[in-house]
């Protein structure tokens, strides 16, 4: 479609600007059939992505204060500063949880959502020490698996897997207490920042390490044990989907189970609800769709090369 905006006078141009803006506003305000399907039924505020970024900044500060609190000082002062950060985290989280609950269940009143938001936010505050403990096991695992560093601080400040795991560990706890929407926002923020895609529904044990990290995908119903290491490009995905009567995929266990002390090397793809037994090594570029027993070595077969 071509438009002709050549006007003979400033007054004519001003009038045309007003007409175009009014027409666009009129058309954009009309609700299409698709919009009726996807637009939230309530008119309350949606969760804020920017608020979630601020929440994660506070989570970093309270779990790794020595590294993310630029004013970190004496232990006595740090306790006071942690209290301030935790209180701010609680207020922000309460509000965003309330928004997510109100949008997901518009039948509840805003006051009910606000009260429930505070209750769930308190549960998350209570879980912060355990989240911190798990994150420090992850840092230890990364340190133990990477000869390229001799400094825990370098890992915490610069390794993308730490950033991704802070988001995942916090999002997973939110999901466990029944908070909708926010967990996925949180892990997708980390996905955008790092290239590491961990669904908040996945269950990941202690001492989890990802080396490099780019392109790692961990699906929603994955179960990962303790002391598991993944390398870049690993996919823990679904092989197929179960559909409901309307042809829409339903949420059933469909991703792999990795038992303790499993190592999966670069670009391996493990699909379906299969089990990789403990102390197994899966080699690079392997395509695995069947369960393997403990202490296995799963390697790519020798490729046949055609010499011309």
The pLDDT of residue 40: 58
> What is the number of other CB atoms lying within 10 angstroms of the CB of residue 52?
21
> What is the number of other CB atoms lying within 10 angstroms of the CB of residue 8?
7
The residue ranking higher by pLDDT, 80 or 6, is 80
Evaluate if residue 305 carries a pLDDT over 60: no
> What is the number of other CB atoms lying within 10 angstroms of the CB of residue 135?
22
Please check whether residue 299 is in contact with residue 286, taking contact to mean a CB–CB distance below 8 angstroms.
yes
The pLDDT of residue 13: 87
Evaluate if residue 74 carries a pLDDT over 80: no
18-46 pLDDT tens trace? 999 999 988 887 767 666 666 555 556 78
The pLDDT of residue 37: 61
Whole-angstrom Cα distance, residue 293 to residue 275? 8
Rounded to 5 degrees, φ, ψ at 118 are -65, -40
Whole-angstrom Cα distance, residue 17 to residue 244? 50
Please check whether residue 282 is in contact with residue 262, taking contact to mean a CB–CB distance below 8 angstroms.
yes
Which residue in the block uniquely carries the two structure tokens 């209570």? Answer: 126
Which residue in the block uniquely carries the two structure tokens 């993310």? Answer: 68
Q: Sorting pLDDT into bands at 50, 70 and 90, what band is 73?
A: low
Q: What is the CA radius of gyration of the chain?
A: 24
Evaluate if residue 308 carries a pLDDT over 50: no
169-182 pLDDT tens trace? 999 999 999 999 99
Tokens of 203: 């269950």
């Amino acid at each position: 479609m071509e438009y002709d905006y050549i006007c003979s006078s400033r007054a004519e141009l001003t009038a045309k600007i007003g007409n175009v803006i009014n027409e666009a506003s009129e058309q954009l305000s009309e609700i299409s059939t698709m919009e009726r399907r996807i637009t939230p039924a309530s008119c309350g505020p949606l969760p804020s992505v920017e608020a979630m970024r601020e929440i994660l900044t506070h989570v970093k500060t309270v779990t790794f204060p020595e590294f993310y609190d630029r004013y970190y000082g004496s232990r006595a002062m740090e306790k006071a500063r942690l209290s301030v950060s935790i209180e701010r985290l609680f207020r922000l989280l309460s509000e965003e949880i309330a928004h997510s609950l109100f949008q997901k269940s518009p039948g509840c009143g805003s006051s009910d959502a606000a009260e429930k938001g505070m209750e769930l936010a308190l549960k998350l505050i209570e879980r912060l020490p355990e989240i911190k403990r798990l994150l420090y096991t992850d840092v230890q695992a990364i340190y133990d698996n990477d000869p390229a560093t001799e400094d825990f601080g370098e890992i915490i400040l610069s390794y993308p897997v730490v950033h991704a795991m802070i988001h995942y560990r916090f999002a997973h706890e939110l999901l466990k207490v029944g908070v909708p929407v926010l967990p996925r926002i949180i892990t997708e923020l980390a996905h955008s920042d790092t290239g590491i895609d961990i669904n908040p529904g996945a269950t990941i044990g202690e001492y989890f390490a990802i080396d490099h990290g780019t392109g790692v995908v961990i699906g929603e119903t994955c179960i990962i044990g303790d002391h598991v290491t993944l390398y870049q490009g690993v996919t823990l995905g679904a092989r197929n989907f179960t559909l409901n009567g309307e042809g829409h995929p339903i949420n059933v266990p469909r991703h792999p189970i990795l038992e303790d002390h499993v190592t999966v090397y670069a670009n391996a793809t493990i699909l379906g609800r299969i089990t990789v037994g403990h102390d197994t090594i899966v080699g690079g570029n392997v395509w695995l769709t069947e369960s393997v027993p403990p202490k296995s070595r799963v390697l790519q077969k020798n490729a046949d090369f055609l010499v011309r």
